[in-house]
């Protein structure tokens, strides 16, 4: 179908949410075992690991996390932390001390005071009304608490926005006051269906029928993502193969031997790569072996990469070219690899 669709369903009894644009899979959320990104926990600080540049934190159920922010922390101290990513097998969960309490319309930000409105809302009248609602929701709150009203507020009723922001403020205040005690899960991460409602906006179609995943071809598109090969059109392709150390990407022109074939294949790969990494759930260090193209055209390719990764914001860092002519980038591991989810 044309337009945006959100499809909700289950695979092997586990929740799945998919966002499609004109029938193509653009976003995928899968249920996780254990503590998922966004969960807020009370933990106990362990011994400072100077060689690792951080500190381990004891979490509920025998889990361990790792904090890179160590200033002011002491062994045995109780801390409130938020899971910031997905750990590789056998490694500690990445944690952050900066908490965010996020809902569909509002984000409460302890330690980042101020009342802010989403930059995507440009109408001055709307921004003025939302600023008034933000002030009302945070009246009398701790001055260390901040509030962000999200872009979804542009289509919502004032009472709905106020109730949502007030609820997030109350949750934040309750959690921040609950520092003492043993390791405990205080706020669970949203499941795939809740996350889709919270973060993916209002679609043209919401389908949660029993056969929705099959009807929209979501299962087939997930199956295609399990293959390393990605067709780029015109016979070009790229292969995406995660290893323990990095993600290797190889771009090929295929049967096209024209002078412009290399650059065309490289630009197509640059445009498609962020989507593929996101849906496959792979990150960390990414090394791209682009198809041969003249050095004078590298700036064109870099522009295409930067434009493609711009929606990822700070989640992706483009490092540049290596002496051997490969391109390196870093992408935050924010979800479980799709291959691991299917295998489990």
pLDDT over 90 (residue 184): yes
Q: In angstroms, rounded to a whole number, what is the distance separating the alpha carbons of residues 66 and 323?
A: 33
Residue 94 has what pLDDT?
94
User: What is the structure's pLDDT at 151?
Assistant: 95
Residue 344 confidence (pLDDT): 65
Q: What is the pLDDT, as a whole number, of residue 302? A: 94
Contact 175, 187 (CB under 8 A): yes
pLDDT (tens digit per residue) in 273-296? 999 999 999 989 999 999 988 889
Q: pLDDT higher for 174 or 51?
A: 174
Q: Which CATH class is domain 1-31+191-225?
A: alpha beta
Task: Reply yes or no on whether the pLDDT at 343 is more than 70.
Answer: no
| Mean per-residue pLDDT of the chain | 93
pLDDT tens readout for residues 9-56: 999 999 999 999 999 999 999 998 889 999 999 999 998 887 778 999
pLDDT at residue 197 is higher than 70: yes
**What pLDDT, in 10s, does the model give residues 62-111?**
999 999 988 889 999 999 999 999 888 788 999 999 999 999 999 999 99
pTM: 0.89
Q: Where are the domains of the chain?
A: 1-31+191-225, 40-96, 101-190, 228-343
How many angstroms separate the CA atoms of 248 and 224, rounded?
18
Q: Which of 2.40.50.140, 3.20.20.10, 3.30.750.200, 2.40.30.10 would CATH assign to domain 40-96?
A: 2.40.50.140
Give the model's pLDDT for residue 208: 96
Domain 101-190 falls in which CATH fold? Ribosomal Protein S5; domain 2 (3.30.230)
Average pLDDT over residues 140-153: 96
- DSSP symbols for 220-286: HHHHHHTSSEEEEETTEEEEEEE-SS-EEEEEE-TT--STTHHHHHHHHHHHHHHHHHHHHT--EEE
Share of the chain above pLDDT 70, in %: 99
């Amino acid at each position: 179908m044309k337009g945006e669709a959100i499809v909700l369903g289950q695979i092997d009894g586990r929740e799945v949410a998919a966002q499609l644009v004109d029938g193509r899979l653009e976003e995928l959320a899968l249920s996780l075992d254990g503590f998922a990104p966004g969960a807020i926990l009370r933990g106990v600080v362990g011994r400072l690991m100077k060689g690792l540049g951080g500190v381990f934190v004891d979490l509920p159920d025998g889990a361990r996390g790792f904090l890179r922010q160590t200033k002011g922390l002491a062994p045995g101290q109780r801390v409130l932390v938020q899971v910031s990513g997905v750990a590789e097998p056998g490694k500690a969960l990445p944690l952050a001390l900066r908490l965010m309490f996020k809902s569909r319309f509002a984000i409460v930000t302890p330690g980042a005071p101020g009342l802010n409105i989403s930059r995507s809302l440009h109408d001055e009248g709307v921004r003025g009304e939302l600023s008034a609602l933000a002030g009302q929701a945070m009246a009398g709150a701790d001055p260390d608490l901040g509030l962000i009203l999200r872009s979804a507020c542009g289509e919502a009723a004032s009472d709905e926005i106020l109730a949502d922001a007030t609820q997030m403020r109350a949750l934040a205040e309750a959690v921040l006051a609950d520092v003492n005690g043993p390791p405990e899960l205080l706020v669970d991460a949203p499941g795939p269906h809740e996350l889709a409602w919270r973060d993916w906006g209002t679609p043209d179609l919401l389908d949660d029928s029993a056969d929705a995943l099959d009807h929209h071809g979501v299962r087939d598109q997930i199956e295609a993502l399990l293959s390393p090969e990605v067709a780029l059109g015109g016979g070009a392709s790229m292969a995406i193969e995660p290893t323990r150390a990095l993600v290797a990407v190889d771009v090929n022109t295929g049967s096209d031997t024209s002078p412009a074939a290399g650059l065309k294949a490289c630009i197509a790969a640059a445009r498609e790569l962020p989507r593929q990494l996101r849906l496959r759930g792979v990150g960390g260090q990414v090394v791209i072996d682009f198809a041969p193209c003249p050095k004078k055209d590298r700036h064109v390719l870099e522009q295409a990469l930067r434009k493609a990764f711009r929606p990822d914001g700070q989640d992706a860092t483009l490092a540049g070219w290596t002496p051997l002519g490969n391109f390196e980038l870093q992408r935050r591991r924010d979800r479980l690899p799709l291959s691991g989810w299917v295998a489990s």
